[in-house]
Chains A and B, each alone.
Chain A
Amino acid sequence: MSNSELKRANRKTAIKLVLATTTMFFFGYALIPLYDVFCEVTGLNGKTGRLSSQEVAQMSLDESRLVEVEFVASVGADLPWEFYPLVAKISVVPGAETQVDFMVVNNAQYAVTGNAVPSVAPNEAAKYFSKTECFCFTKQSLKAGESRKMPVRFVVDPDIPRGVSLLTLGYTFFEALDTAGLYPPEHTYIN
């Protein structure tokens, strides 16, 4: 190989490898949507589905059994809210739409916006759990001292495996990211 040929070959190799490096950098980012798609297809990671009431009305009922649904509510650090379900546990007929209410109270002396992140356990049951209405679909803004009753309407798919007789629906309220840090670091409580 002559000197100029060698230079050209080396440049070509280097360009290809830099391209490979760039591709792998963006592949790292691509892992995030890929992971989401994977979770949606498999229903893993506790991500739940969302249905319209019409779709639920067409679902068949499986009155031969009842599935228990437990509710868990927690509040992320730095959010001066109280948050709890009004019923701890309910038995539902698979295929029937059910409504339960959660209560949230803003104990701070200023308005705070939060959003609730849901999760369903066990993981393999998550894809059989769908909501038609939920306070987690939108951000919730509460004025100082305000309390609010918030409904969740959900349905358990009749195809849910027979082995699953208990589901846990958990919510964690976090301070909405776009408002986080706008408040004094040490929250002052009304009581």
Chain B
Amino acid sequence: MPGGAPAGGWTMYPPLVLQTGDAFPYLIFAIHFMGASSIAGAINIIATVFNMRAPGMTLMKLPLFVWTWIITAFLLIASIPVLAGAVTMLLTDKFFGTAFFSAAGGGDPVMFQHIFWFFGHPEVYILILPAFGIVSAIIPTFARKPLFGYGSMVYATGAIAFLSFIVWAHHMFTVGMPLAGELFFMYTTVLIAVPTGVKIFNWIATMWRGSMTFETPMLFALAFVVLFTIGGFSGLMLGVTPVDFQYHDTYFVVAHFHYVLVTGAVFALMAGAYFWLPKWTGHMYNETLGKWHFWLSTISVNVLFFPQHFLGLAGMPRRIPDYAVQFSDFNMVSSIGGFVYGASQILFVVVVVKCARGGEKATDEVWEGAQGLEWTLPSPPPFHSFTEAPDPSSITGGNR
């Protein structure tokens, strides 16, 4: 397409993005299309949970994975339309003579950043909340104890969702905000550590004196707790305005969001895949290969992203095509980690394919400590399940 790919990164900041060639209207169309599908999915989930629960399944008996999904769905409904508005403004700025983000017409390019991050921060919690739900299902199973503090988990998720709407400007501390703004966004950002800390505490308390075993899903869930917490701590550092002026747009930010989104969201996806794979396929996966996959991934992902903290602190900026030579060694270490991490995922594909094709037959319960309705069905579940509502007495609630 003449003019190449969209100018500017995923954040689509004007005026740069307005220099995109013929791809520009397609970019806006794609964002709208993606947003519409996210919203349709979110409406589906909320209607299902609110109107179609089994008898006896009260809201406070829902598995935490379902709770995190409802809250995620509400975040989608509240944030995606704001992004839709922002990209529509870009479209009219480019083609219809409006000047929302053009200083020449009395607009303000920084305004786009405000609107974008009003969407963008809830969006990162959309990515992580379901991960919290998966981990909250796995840890009690392999610790053979009920989830500690179920109610506080639900309220902490709600609090994180609420706070996500009033912290957006911590992505743009350096745009020249007034002191009052810097302080407000710093305090609200640091406040997120409280509900997140409640969750981490609850996961650890769930394991306390549990009879734990360390199958692959549990290993990924444990790595999630440790590594996501590291990402959370570097997030706290970035949330403190005066030091953010130093870290802004450096590799420290890159290290931070990869710890929360790769060792956070992606590791929870892996944990969830191993956890439910026997239920989906009817076969146990190969535990030895699963453990190899876990250890290779966990070691290499740290080799990949940990040095990026040091690169950022030493001043290596993000989004540059080339870097100063003093950063070469750490970048080399990081690249080796990257290739090993990438290659390790081939193992995951092997595990999934092998598991889908055969293997030891999975029982209905699959895991000794598994609780919840899906484990009462055969593995794999028949095409039509729960044609009659499950017995209300079988719904114990509290993810237990």
Which A residues are closer than 8 A to B by beta carbons?
Answer: 1, 6, 9-10, 13-14, 17-18, 20-29, 31-32, 35, 42, 44-45, 76, 115, 117, 123-124, 172, 174-178, 180
Set of chain B residues within 8 Å of A177, measured between Cβ atoms: 97, 99, 102, 104-105
Q: How far is the CA of A96 from the CA of B180 in the complex (A)?
A: 30
Contact of B191 with A by CB under 8 A: no
What's the Cα separation between A10 and B52 when bound, in Å?
9
- A22 and B81 contacting across the interface, CB-CB below 8 Å: yes
Question: Which of B43, B82, B180 touches A17 (beta carbons < 8 Å)?
Answer: B43
Closest to A30 in B: B85
Chain A residues, Cβ within 8 Å of B106? 117
* Residue of A whose beta carbon sits closest to that of B76: A21
Let me know if B126 is at the binding interface, CB within 8 A. no
Closest chain-B Cβ to A73's Cβ sits at a distance in Å of 15
Contacts of A22 in B (CB 8 A): 81
A–B complex contacts, Cβ < 8 Å, 18 sampled: A9-B51, A10-B47, A13-B43, A18-B43, A20-B78, A24-B80, A25-B84, A27-B81, A27-B82, A28-B86, A28-B115, A29-B89, A31-B115, A31-B118, A115-B104, A172-B103, A174-B105, A180-B104
Task: State which of A31, A76, A172, A176 has its C-beta within 8 Å of the C-beta of B114.
Answer: A31
Task: Choose one: A1, A21, A117; the contact of B39 (CB below 8 Å).
Answer: A21
B176 within 8 A of A: yes
CA distance A31 to B86 in the complex (A): 10
Complex alpha-carbon distance, A117 and B105, angstroms: 9
Whole-angstrom CA separation of A123 from B175 in the bound complex? 12
B-side interface mostly:
helix
4 additional A-B residue pairs with CB within 8 Å, beyond A10-B47, A20-B77, A21-B77: A22-B81, A28-B82, A28-B118, A32-B100
Q: How large is the interface on B (under 10, 10 to 19, 20 to 34, 35 or more residues)?
A: 35 or more
In the docked arrangement, what's the CA distance between A130 and B85, Å?
Answer: 34
A17 touches B77 (CB 8 A): yes
Contact with A along B66-104 (1 / 0, CB 8 A): 000000000001111111111001000000010110111
Pick from A23, A24, A29: contact of B79, CB below 8 A. Answer: A24
Q: Tell me if A35 and B114 are in contact (CB < 8 A).
A: yes
Write the nearest CB–CB distance from B95 to chain A, whole angstroms. Answer: 12
Residues in A whose Cβ lies below 8 Å from that of B386:
none
Neighbour of B108 across the interface among A25, A45, A115, CB < 8 A: A45
Contacts of B80 in A (CB 8 A): 21, 24
- Assess whether B222 is interfacial by the CB under 8 Å rule: no
A13, B50: Cβ atoms under 8 Å?
yes
Q: Are B103 and A174 in contact (CB under 8 A)?
A: yes
